[in-house]
Amino acid sequence: MRRGRGLHAAGAGPERYQGYGRGLRGISLAVLQALEDGLEKADADPSVKAVMICGENGKFSAGADIRGFSSPNRQGPSLAALVSLIESSKKPVVAAIEGIALGGGLEVALGCHYRVAHVKARMGLPEVTLGLLPGAEGTQRLPRLIGVPAALDMITTGKHISAHEALKLGLVDEVVEANTVEAAMHLANQVIGQPLGPRRLSLRPVPPLPDTDGFLRAARLRVRERARGCLAPELCVQAVRAATELPFSAGVRRERELFVELLSSGQARALQYAFFAERAVRRWSAPGGAASHGAAPRPLRSAAVIGLGTMGRGIVTCLVKANIPVVALEQNLEYLNVGRKAVMLLLEREAKKMEQDAQALDFHNPARLQFTVDFDLLRDVDLVIEAVFEDMALKKEIFHKLSRICKPEALLCTNTSALDIDEIASATSRPEQVIGTHFFSPAHVMRLLEIIYGRHTSPTAIATAMQLARALRKVGVVVGNCFGFVGNRMMFPYVEQAVFLLEEGSRPEEVDQVLEDFGFKIGPFRMSDLAGLDVGWRSRQGQGLTGPSVPAGTPARQRLGRRYSPLPDLLCESGRFGQKSGTGWYRYERAGGRTATPDPGVHSLLAQYRHTHGIRPRHIDQEEILERCLFALINEGFAILAEGIAAGPEHLDVIYINGYGWPRHRGGPMFYAATVGLPRVLARLQHHSQAHPDVPGLRPSAFLEKLVAMGNPPLKEWMSYLSQQSPRL
């Protein structure tokens, strides 16, 4: 056996070169160079009859180094040239795919003449999720290998597929359960001397479809609709179209042009920022210097969920899917039966979606999922998630009970979207074990888990909650305790501006349209209708902003010396609660309907309202709608950072991308602010604040002013400009 650097090569018989491979960090220039050198050496060495390429540490490759894309001094061999070099080798080249083959890694495998995959390997072209396309000739080779529909699906979604799926598609030649490298060497030895022409994908035609043009046109429309302004999926379709219309070399040139267009679009930078931000937020810090690197989580072997309303049902479903045995508790048998039925329905649906893994859910087994009204069954669980109504008194009563019943080390979580964690913790004898876990609805679908530590929450409790997020396949973001935490606190001024815009002349559908065109999944009014207008109404009543507790003589459009809009209250008073009641800011086909239609009833209510309050309606353009809603939200983000409620702008961005439908290709609100330029954000806030001096949400945050005064530093430096790190972090 001879060892070199760059690749494994199988000679005739058991001889082989062995060498390099890099795992997760991506294909670096050094790796490319080593592969090129190794291939040339193998081609020149008559004793080498075949070549085998594999990765190191059981991973073929995670693709190109993503950080390298934004590097201005990228030089050296290109991945595309290397793939061509592999393909043109005079000796058969076999890829041994273990672990993962993603992006450029899979493109390298496509250059090989044969591919052998381990049964647990996953493959994919995730470039589209980074705002790019497979730019090392992948858009030209893959359709030639597996046909246009399957290739387009992989390239435009970036999804990872299993080895079995890859075998079905013809992406790999063999799937093995044992040693992949040995199997690849065996195959290499078998194919020595066989003609390579038919194995060179660049020489193959793209398998024709009955109507390729029609198929691609329909695909383009579908992708455009789904992409909400994100360029990459559509350009991926164009690249695949080139494969169907042009000879290979011209298709490659077209792929290159489209790749360069994407690389310089700004969206690629935003999406790559989002990729790293989601990984950065796994590292957390908390008061007193506690941080992720020094805190170990407790084991999570069993859990309980209290309350089987919408949130509780979704949370039970996530836990079952994560293979964590659950006790689901309700206050009485009637609610328990309703909750049980709903949970079972959700689980049946999830099992159907998961297909071959459904057996693993095993949710009819009482050892894995138990429904009860008996608190005593919570005695031994490692974790309790309380998911009852947003009612402080009720939550405190439950936590008091929990601290009497649960074992001392059990983690006590409250699923609240705004309430004070410290007050809830004060009802227990162990506040260090109490933590907020803010799930987003539907809890079994949404990726975000906002994790809120209180004054006494221990580092172990935070680490365990982060571990929970990982187990549930969610993105956990650790934040401090304040009203609305991070996500909802930033949402309040955004929605407030949207409602003020209605007072001044806009219609709900106009405001929604502007924000949906920006890329939000749904605008603020559609979102409020979906969530239920009564939720906010109850909260405002609780805060004394509306209802009988408002002192007589309070001006209708003012509270606590600042502008207030009673419009959402008026809607609720007239029974408009959103989708659930069939009317809200929109009209729906029935109570519980989902199709929003602009409602003339709301238009006349607005006209009447403006008349009553002497407001002369004006035309409000798209720019003003965008600026007032988005900059108010961003402004609150700066206040949150200055108060130390979050450790950095990445945390806010990850929360918004994963929990609030912020368009990922815009990188999150704080990244967007950096893109627009902080001086402009400040100037426009100053402008709007002057026009609306009674709206504190438009008054620029002192931290934003400071950053502008310091010369608009890059986002990654912002936190270093806080005069003292917050008392909370």
Whether the Cβ atoms of residue 234 and residue 107 lie closer than 8 Å to each other: no
Q: Residue 425 CA to chain centroid, in angstroms?
A: 30
CB of 322 to ligand L4473FGL, least distance (A): 15
Of 36, 87, 98, 107, catalytic: 107
Judged by CB, which is closer to ligand L4473FGL: 62, or 478?
62
**Minimum separation from the CB atom of position 139 to ligand L4473FGL (A):** 11
Taking the least distance from each CB to ligand L4473FGL, the nearer of 66 and 486 is 66
Helix (H, G, I), strand (E, B) or coil at 298: coil
If we measure between CA atoms, which residue out of 103, 89, 13 comes closest to residue 53? 89
We find the least distance from the C-beta atom of residue 284 to ligand L4473FGL, in angstroms, to be 13
DSSP state of 616: P
Q: Which is nearer to ligand L4473FGL, 86 or 185 (CB)?
A: 86
Q: What is the rounded distance in angstroms from the CA atom of residue 430 to the CA atom of residue 432?
A: 5
Cα separation, 545 vs 417, whole angstroms: 19
**Which of 135, 431 has the CB closer to ligand L4473FGL?**
135
CB-based contacts of 333, cutoff 8 Å, min separation 6: 373
What's the closest the beta carbon of residue 61 comes to ligand L4473FGL, in angstroms? 8
CA distance 5 to 20: 5
Count CA atoms within 13 Å of residue 661 on its CB side: 16
Minimum distance from residue 25 beta carbon to ligand L4473FGL (Å): 5
**Does residue 36 have an active-site annotation?**
no
Active-site pick, 127, 255, 636, 650: 127
Give the nearer residue to ligand L4473FGL in terms of CB position, either 279 or 404.
279
CB of 150 to ligand L4473FGL, least distance (A): 19
Torsion, Cα 317 321 326 332, to 10 degrees, reads 20
Side chain identity, residue 621: D
The residues, any chain, with a CB within 8 Å of residue 4's CB and separated by 6 or more, are 17, 18, 19, 38, 41
122 vs 396 by CB, closer to ligand L4473FGL: 122
136 vs 383, which CB is nearer to ligand L4473FGL?
Answer: 136
User: Smaller CB distance to ligand L4473FGL: residue 79 or 237?
Assistant: 79
Q: How far is the CB of 228 from ligand L4473FGL (least distance, A)?
A: 21
Q: Which is nearer to ligand L4473FGL, 100 or 231 (CB)?
A: 100
The sheet that has 448-453: what strands, in order across it? 369-372, 326-329, 303-306, 383-386, 411-414, 434-439, 448-453, 475-479
Cα angle for residues 377, 383, 387 (degrees, 5° grid): 85
Annotated active-site residue 127? The verdict is yes
Residues 6+ apart with CB under 8 A from 499: 565, 567, 568
Element (H, E) at 463: helix 459-471
Q: Which is closer to ligand L4473FGL, CB of 103 or CB of 487?
A: 103
Cα Rg of the chain (Å, integer): 29
**Under a CB-based contact definition with an 8 Å cutoff, are residues 678 and 704 in contact?**
yes
**Plot region of 644 (φ>0 → left; ψ -120 to 50 → alpha; else → beta):** left
Least distance from ligand L4473FGL to the Cβ atom of residue 118, Å:
15
**Which residue, 103 or 297, has its beta carbon nearer to ligand L4473FGL?**
103
Element spanning 67, H or E: helix 66-69
DSSP secondary structure letters along 132-199: ---TTTHHHHHHHHH-HHHHHHHHHH--EEEHHHHHHHTS-SEEESS-HHHHHHHHHHHHTTS--GGG
Q: How far apart are CA 243 and CA 255, in angstroms?
A: 9
- Minimum gap (Å) between residue 82 Cβ and ligand L4473FGL: 10
3-state secondary structure 198-256: HHCHHHCCCCCCCCHHHHHHHHHHHHHHHHCCCHHHHHHHHHHHHHHHCCHHHHHHHHH
- Closer residue to ligand L4473FGL in complex, CB, 323/597: 323
Q: Could you list the residues that contact ligand L4473FGL (CB under 6 A)?
A: 24-26, 62-67, 79, 100, 102-104, 126-127, 130, 135-136, 276, 279
Beta-carbon count within 10 A of 563 CB: 18
User: What does the alpha-carbon distance between residue 29 and residue 20 come to, in Å, rounded to a whole number?
Assistant: 13
Burial 238-248 (b: 16+ CB within 10 A, else e): bbbbbbbeeeb
Would you call 700 exposed, middle or buried from its count of C-beta atoms within 10 A (0-12, 13-18, 19+)?
Answer: buried
Q: How far apart are CA 280 and CA 477, in angstroms?
A: 10
398 contacts 443 by C-beta, under 8 angstroms? no
- Min. distance of Cβ 77 from ligand L4473FGL in angstroms? 11
* Smallest gap from residue 273 Cβ to ligand L4473FGL (A): 12
Which of 212, 120, 210 lies closest to 166 in space, CA to CA? 120
Provide, rounded to whole angstroms, the least separation between the CB of residue 631 and ligand L4473FGL.
Answer: 31
The angle at the Cα of 86, spanning 82 to 90, to the nearest 5 degrees, equals 140
The catalytic residue positions are 107, 127
